[in-house]
Amino acid sequence: MSTSEQNIPGPIQGQTRLLLSLGFGGLLLLLAFLGLSAISFFSRVENQQAQIRKDYVERDGTLGRLRGDIYLSGTYMRDYLLDTSTLSGPATGNETHEAKFSAEWQAILGALALYRGILHQEERPVFDQLNRELLDYHDQLQRTFAWTVDDRRARGAGFVQEQVLPRRMTAIGLVDRLHEASDRQLEISSRAIGETFASFRLKLVVLLIATGAIGLLLAGFTMAWLLSLERAAASTLQEVLRTRKELHELSGQLVSVQEDERRRISRELHDEVGQVLSAMMLGLGNLRSALKTNDREEALEQVHLIEDMTERNANVVRNISLLLRPTMLDDLGLVPALRWLAREVSRTNRMEVDVSSVDELEDLPEGHRTCVYRVVQEALRNACRHSGGQRVHVSVRMTESQLRIDVQDDGKGFQPSLETGVGILGMEERVARLGGKLRVDSSPGQGTTVHFELPTVAA
Residue 133 has pLDDT above 50, yes or no: yes
> Final residue of a domain: which of 175, 205, 225?
225
The CA distance from 232 to 235, in Å, is: 5
In angstroms, how far apart are the furthest CA atoms of the chain?
202
52 located within any domain: yes
Q: At what angle do helices 10-82 and 165-268 cross, to 10 degrees?
A: 180
| pLDDT value for 45 | 79
pLDDT at 5: 40
In a domain, 104, yes or no: yes
Residue 59 is classified by DSSP as: H
Higher pLDDT, 400 or 455: 455
Which tens digits make up the pLDDT trace of 343-390?
888 887 878 899 888 666 667 788 888 888 888 888 888 888 888 888
Distance of CA 35 to the CA centre of its chain: 26
The answer to whether position 441 is within a domain reads yes
Q: How many CA atoms are closer than 13 Å to the CA of 435, on its beta-carbon side?
A: 8
pLDDT band, very low/low/confident/very high, at 47 (cuts 50, 70, 90): confident
pLDDT of residue 6: 44
Instruction: Please measure the distance between the N-terminal and C-terminal CA atoms of the chain and give it in whole angstroms.
Output: 48
- Angle at CA 15, nearest 5°, toward 11 and 18? 135
Which residue, of 179, 207, 225, is where some domain finishes?
A: 225
pLDDT tens-digit series, residues 225-271 = 778 878 888 888 898 888 888 777 767 666 676 677 677 777 767 66
**Are 34 and 163 contained in the same domain?**
yes
Whether residue 125 sits in one domain with residue 8: yes
Question: Do residue 216 and residue 333 come from a single domain?
Answer: no
Tally of structural domains, the chain: 2
Single-letter amino acid, residue 255: V
Residue 377 CB contacts under 8 Å (≥ 6 apart), including other chains: 341
Task: Tell me the average pLDDT of the chain.
Answer: 78
In angstroms, the CA 192 to CA 52 distance is 11
Best-predicted range by mean pLDDT (44-53, 293-302, 390-399): 390-399
Q: Is the pLDDT of residue 11 over 50?
A: yes
Last residue of a domain, one of 191, 225, 259: 225
Note whether 424 and 431 are within 8 A (CB). Answer: no
CATH number at residue 219: 1.20.120.1730
Does 78 score more than 50 pLDDT?
yes
Residue 12 has pLDDT above 60, yes or no: no
Same domain, 342 and 453: yes
Residue 433 lies in a domain: yes
Same domain membership, residue 57 and residue 177: yes
CATH number at residue 421: 3.30.565.10
Percentage of the residues of the chain whose pLDDT score is greater than 90: 2
For residue 446, is pLDDT > 80?
yes
Q: Taking 50 as the threshold, does the pLDDT of residue 445 lie above it?
A: yes
* Lowest mean pLDDT, pick from 17-26, 303-312, 344-353, 378-387: 17-26
The pLDDT, as a whole number, for residue 358 is: 67
Q: Is 457 helix (H, G, I), strand (E, B) or coil?
A: coil
Which residue would you say has higher pLDDT here, 85 or 7?
Answer: 85
Which contacts (CB < 8 Å, 24+ apart) does range 414-423 have? Answer: 414/386, 414/442, 414/443, 414/444, 414/448, 415/442, 415/443, 415/444, 416/440, 416/441, 416/442, 421/382, 422/249, 422/250, 422/253, 422/254, 422/257, 423/378, 423/381, 423/382
Which of the 8 DSSP states describes residue 146?
G
Q: Cα–Cα distance between 126 and 180 in angstroms, integer?
A: 11
- Is residue 143 pLDDT above 70, yes or no? yes
Rounded-to-integer distance, Cα 140 and Cα 96, Å = 19
Nearest-angstrom CA–CA distance, 57 and 59: 6
DSSP for 235-301, please give it.
HHHHHHHHHHHHHHHHHHHHHHHHHHHHHHHHHHIIIIIIHHHHHHHHHHHHHHHHHHTT-HHHHHH
Q: Which range marks the domain in which residue 99 is found?
A: 3-225
Quick one: average pLDDT of 29-40?
79
Model confidence at 394, in pLDDT bands (50, 70, 90)?
very high
The residue-averaged pLDDT of 292-301 equals 82
Q: Are 92 and 221 contained in the same domain? A: yes
Strand partners, 405: 396, 452
Q: Torsions phi, psi of 402, nearest 5?
A: -145, 150
Q: Are residues 334 and 196 in the same domain?
A: no
Answer whether residue 216 is part of any domain: yes
Percent of the chain with pLDDT over 70: 85
- The whole-angstrom distance between residue 379's C-alpha and the CA centroid of its chain comes to 46
Burial class (CB in 10 A: 0-12, 13-18, 19+), 428: buried
Going by pLDDT thresholds of 50, 70 and 90, the confidence category of residue 324 is low
> In the prediction, which pLDDT does 257 show?
65
pLDDT score of 258: 66
What confidence tier does 92 reach under pLDDT thresholds 50, 70, 90? Answer: very low
Specify if 295 maps to a domain: no
Q: How far is the C-alpha of 67 from the C-alpha of 60, rounded, in Å?
A: 10
Q: Specify whether 221 is located in the same domain as 343.
A: no
Band (90; pLDDT cuts 50, 70, 90):
very low
Indicate the pLDDT class of residue 2, thresholds 50, 70 and 90. very low
**Domain shared by 221 and 333, yes or no:** no
Please give the pLDDT value at position 169: 85
Residue 399 has pLDDT above 60, yes or no: yes
Residue 105 sits at the vertex; the CA angle it makes with 94 and 140, to the nearest 5 degrees, is: 65
In angstroms, the CA 243 to CA 249 distance is 10
- Specify the higher pLDDT residue, 229 or 27: 229
Ramachandran assignment for 353, one of left (phi > 0), alpha (psi -120 to 50 degrees), beta (any other): beta
Q: Is the pLDDT of residue 23 over 70?
A: no
Q: Tally Cβ neighbours within 10 Å of residue 296.
A: 10
Is 242 within a domain? no
Q: What is the pLDDT of residue 322?
A: 63
What's the one-letter identity of residue 91? A
215 torsion bin: left (phi>0), alpha (psi -120 to 50), beta (else): alpha
Pairwise CA distance, residues 246 & 65, whole Å = 102
Question: Residue 44 and residue 200: Cα distance in Å, rounded?
Answer: 12
Write the single-letter amino acid at 297. E
Task: Note whether residue 388 is domain-resident.
Answer: yes
pLDDT tens, 109-126? Answer: 888 888 888 877 888 888
Q: Are residues 191 and 47 in the same domain?
A: yes
Does residue 220 sit in the same domain as residue 345?
no
Backbone angles phi, psi at 71, to 5 degrees: -65, -45
